[in-house]
Amino acid sequence: MYTRRFLQLGLLFIVASVAFAQTDPSASRLQQHVSYLASDALDGRRTGTAGANDAARYIAGEFARLGLKPAAAGPATRRGSRIMARYLQQFPYVAGIELGQQNAFLIGGTQRLTVREEWMPLSFSTNASVSGSIVFVGFGIKAPELNHDDYQGVPVSGNIALALAGTPDSDNPHGKFFRYVDVHLKAIAARDAGAKALLLITNEPDFKKALLARLEVDLLGGDVRLPVATVSQQALAKLAPQLTLSELQQLASAKQQSTLKPVAGPFTLTTELVRKEVPAYNVVGVLEGSDRLLKNETIVIGAHYDHLGRGGSGSLAPRSGEIHHGADDNASGTAGVLELARVLTEQRPRPKRTIVFIAFGGEEEGLLGSNYYVNHPATPLNSVVAMINMDMIGRMKDRKLVIGGVGTAKEWRDIIAQGTADPARKFELTLNEDGFGPSDHSSFYGKEIPVLFFWTGTHNDYHKPTDTWEKINYQDQTRILNLVSYIVRHLDSADKRVTYTKAKTDPAPRTGGFRVYLGTIPNYADSNDGLLIDGVRDDSPASKAGLKAGDRIVKIGTREVKNVYDYTYALGEMKAGEEYVIEIIRGTDRLTLKITPIQR
Ligand SMILES: [Zn+2]
């Protein structure tokens, strides 16, 4: 009897301790994850590379070990078990661009220029073969607001346009022509003037060193619907023996290119680029809710695991080639997702709502993974109570922590205040209202989901090879994760969801010297049948015009908008304070709205 009673008591005690189990995030586990993800073995985790895919498999392995449910019908991979592959959500990604077999540049049918040595197609060039005379178009700039049109009086239609790289003010970043350095804008100006192709003479005398002659993946994706190539300064002597570079420069500066006769040639330009698409992955694991009803609501916890590989686009290192370890950016956030997955899986009683853990790929290339996810979600988007993003949470100093997105739900400030009342979770907080920003929460906020974004700020190793694992402040990182798990438990145990609110916008980042501002968040992953809008900044011209996330802009004023290039160009032509008609596709409807851009 006694024995039995004792046993019962013991049993009760065990049950009780299990019933309220609360695991804490562990600094040593964080260090384990970060030191592997940021190791040389993963080669900087550039999306689409073996290193990034190894990282994805590692994360999938951890999800499997914790017993999370796989969310995706992943591909069968050679390495790793098939079960692990089911955590991988595949999305398309252009990893590389190469010259095809057909590239040729013929002069008068006899002489030819050698590709790579004397000329090179640009990465956003269309594949095509065109013939015609060459017409010199100065800098190839059309800037109505500056009263500058290099195409005026020049018979370029049906011919091949030849322009100088750069601008009349020598690429001065404070010069009024600065944004017209952009070769995309030059290509659009040439296309609109009826040119069959555009050739750009490099500024750099040594063609091998010319930036334009490097074939790199264009982050904007797609092509510009015109063959565009760069030619060396030396090749000019073969194209137009009667002209020198300095003569052309003088004519362009004096805007006297229309005095030149076309060079008859005939010239035949054939461009062929092969865009190499490779699979890339998000890793998605689901902890199903324990409450019969509330499990239909979802809390998303995410962080991107990809980084910059060995440099190249996005790198701030003086030269590329070295491994960019990305310990803070964003092995730290990824380790955070893994630790929170462990803590929340071990928590008793189990969470009522469903928690979806996501490690995103393609963030550094423009939020590609999160963008794909919100359009192919594991649980319906309207079930998502909130999304919490961690990007660079490993360099805490003096307890300084930035939390973004606090304007995206009415309750956020209160919840954060309660969470940080505990001395173990006290921080020097900077709270930002905006739900948009340069990381994956932006994709969710664009779908009107409340978001929070955790960040310990930038530092000297940001986007450089020196962002290494031993510089991470693991101890303080556990404090951040304690706060995040407090917030998640708060969201999970509440009767009601937090209330989505449209956040006040932080001052918009200045890009490319535009003088006008619309307040749209363009979708860079998408192209060629209009410009898809991921979101609209609060209180902006776009929101006043009635534009919404998911709208596709197809026309601004008289300009057709097929893709982000056209959009950028149209933006450059707009004047602040003037009203423009803007045509959009919303669902199956074509709507006409009116928008008035404001001064930057
Ligand atoms: Zn980054």
pLDDT in tens, 407-450: 999 999 999 999 999 998 999 999 999 998 889 999 999 999 99
250 Cα to the center of ligand 1, angstroms: 43
Distance 37 CA to ligand 1 centre (A): 14
Q: Quick one: what percent of the chain has pLDDT higher than 70? A: 90
Backbone angles phi, psi at 275, to 5 degrees: -90, 125
pLDDT above 60 for 88: yes
Mean pLDDT is lowest, of 25-39, 70-84, 129-143, 285-299, for: 70-84
Beta-carbon contacts of residue 225 (< 8 Å; ≥ 6 apart): 126, 191, 562
Give the SS3 label for residue 402. strand
Q: What is the CA(379)–ligand 1 centre distance, in A?
A: 27
Ligand 1 centroid to residue 64 C-alpha, Å? 27
Rounded distance from Cα 183 to ligand 1 centre (Å): 25
Average pLDDT over residues 374-391: 96
pLDDT of residue 172: 64
What is d(CA 533, CA 517) in angstroms, rounded to the nearest whole number? 15
Q: What's the 307 CA to ligand 1 centre distance in angstroms?
A: 6
The predicted model gives 221-238 an average pLDDT of: 87
CB 25 within 8 A of CB 253: no
Tally of CB atoms within 10 A around 28: 8
Q: How far is the CA of 510 from the centre of ligand 1 (A)?
A: 19
Q: How far apart are CA 201 and CA 195, in angstroms?
A: 16
Cα–ligand 1 centroid distance for 531 (angstroms): 25
The H-or-E segment that residue 416 falls in is helix 412-419
- The Å distance, Cα 282 to ligand 1 centre, comes to 16
* 331 CA → ligand 1 middle, Å: 10
Give the span between the Cα atoms of 551 and 536, in whole angstroms: 10
- Residue 82: pLDDT over 60: yes
Burial class (CB in 10 A: 0-12, 13-18, 19+), 429: middle
Give the pLDDT of residue 210: 84
Q: What are phi and psi of 536, to 5 degrees?
A: -135, 130
pLDDT (mean) for 514-533: 74
pLDDT digits (tens, 9 = 90+) for 181-216: 888 889 999 999 999 999 999 988 899 888 888 877
Quote the ligand 1 centre to 565 CA distance (angstroms): 24
Weakest mean pLDDT among 84-88, 157-161, 248-252, 394-398: 84-88
- How much is the pLDDT for 320? 65
First to last CA, the chain: 83
User: What percentage of the chain has pLDDT greater than the value 90?
Assistant: 58
Between residues 394 and 259, which one has the greater pLDDT?
Answer: 394
CB-based contact 570:559 (threshold 8 Å) = yes
Quick one: pLDDT at residue 78? 46
pLDDT reading at 315 higher than 50: yes
Q: How far is the CA of 329 from the centre of ligand 1 (A)?
A: 5
Q: Given pLDDT bands bounded at 50, 70 and 90, which one contains residue 22? A: confident
Taking the centre of ligand 1 as the mean of its atom positions, its distance from the CA of residue 309, in whole angstroms, is 11
What is the CA(364)–ligand 1 centre distance, in A? 5
Calculate mean pLDDT across residues 289-308. Answer: 97
**Confidence at residue 538, expressed as pLDDT on a 0 to 100 scale:** 77
What is the CA(52)–ligand 1 centre distance, in A? 14
- Distance (Å) from CA 448 to ligand 1 centroid: 24
Q: What is the pLDDT of residues 457-498, one digit of tens each?
A: 888 888 899 999 999 999 999 999 999 999 999 999 999 999
Given a cut of 70, whether residue 168 has pLDDT beyond it is yes
Spatial contact of 442 and 436, defined as CB atoms under 8 Å apart: yes
Kindly give the distance from the C-alpha atom of residue 310 to the centroid of ligand 1, in angstroms, as a whole number.
13
CA 455, CA 266: separation in Å to the nearest integer?
58
Q: What is the pLDDT of residue 573?
A: 77
CA 292 – ligand 1 centroid, Å: 39
Task: Fill in the DSSP letter of residue 329.
Answer: I
Could you tell me the distance, in angstroms and rounded to a whole number, from the CA of residue 485 to the centre of ligand 1?
24
**Beta bridge pairs of residue 281:** 90
Ligand 1 centre and the CA of 539: distance in Å? Answer: 28
User: What residue ranges in 313-383 does DSSP mark as E strands?
Assistant: 354-360
Q: Is residue 357 within 8 Å of 340, Cβ to Cβ?
A: yes
Comparing 350 with 575, the larger pLDDT belongs to 350
Note the pLDDT of residue 298. 98
Give the tokens for residue 400: 């300084």
The tokens of 204 are what? Answer: 């750099």
CA of 417 to the centre of ligand 1 (A): 29
Residues measured by CB to lie within 5 Å of ligand 1, the ion: 329
- The predicted-structure confidence for 244-253, as pLDDT tens digits, reads as follows 999 999 999 8
CA of 461 to the centre of ligand 1 (A): 11
For residue 400, the model assigns a pLDDT of 92
Distance 478 CA to ligand 1 centre (A): 21
Report the DSSP beta bridge partners of residue 131: 268
What are the two backbone dihedrals, phi and then psi, of residue 112, each rounded to the nearest 5 degrees?
-140, 155
Spacing, Cα 337 to ligand 1 middle (Å)? 17
Pairing of strands 197-201, 160-164: parallel
Query: Could you tell me the distance, in angstroms and rounded to a whole number, from the CA of residue 154 to the centre of ligand 1?
Result: 45
Tokens of 561: 């908008």
Q: Considering only CA atoms, which of 430, 512, 422, 435 is closest in space to residue 177?
A: 512
- Cα(35) to ligand 1 centroid in Å equals 17
Cα separations in angstroms, 311 against 209, 330, 332, 335, 463: 18, 15, 19, 22, 8
Q: What is the number of other CB atoms lying within 10 angstroms of the CB of residue 278?
A: 13
For ligand 1, the distance from its centroid to the CA atom of residue 315, given in whole angstroms, is 9
HSE of 488, CA atoms in CB hemisphere, 13 A: 31
Which carries the bigger pLDDT value, residue 558 or residue 556?
556
Q: Give me ligand 1 centre to Cα 363, in Å.
A: 8
- In which band, very low, low, confident or very high, does the pLDDT at 512 lie, cut at 50, 70 and 90? very low
Does 123 or 340 have the greater pLDDT score?
340
Expressed in angstroms and rounded, the spacing between residue 317 Cα and the centre of ligand 1 is 13
**How sure is the predictor about 7, in pLDDT bands with cuts at 50, 70 and 90?**
very low
Predicted local confidence at residue 19, as pLDDT: 57
Contact 178, 167 (CB under 8 A): yes
Residue 489 alpha carbon to ligand 1 centre in Å: 28
The rounded Å distance from CA 91 to ligand 1 centre is 19
- CA 506–ligand 1 middle distance (angstroms): 20
Indicate the average pLDDT of the chain: 87
Token output for 553: 């802009």
Q: Is the pLDDT assigned to residue 389 strictly greater than 80?
A: yes
The better pLDDT of the pair 540, 346 is held by 346
Dist. CA 504 → ligand 1 center (Å): 24
- Kindly give the distance from the C-alpha atom of residue 305 to the centroid of ligand 1, in angstroms, as a whole number: 10
- Rounded distance between C-alpha atoms, residue 288 and residue 367, angstroms: 26
Instruction: Compute the distance from residue 277 Cα to the ligand 1 centre, in Å.
Output: 22
Q: What is the pTM of this model?
A: 0.71
- 443 CA → ligand 1 middle, Å: 16
Q: What digits encode the pLDDT tens for the residues 323-373?
A: 999 999 999 999 999 999 999 999 999 999 999 999 999 998 889 999 999
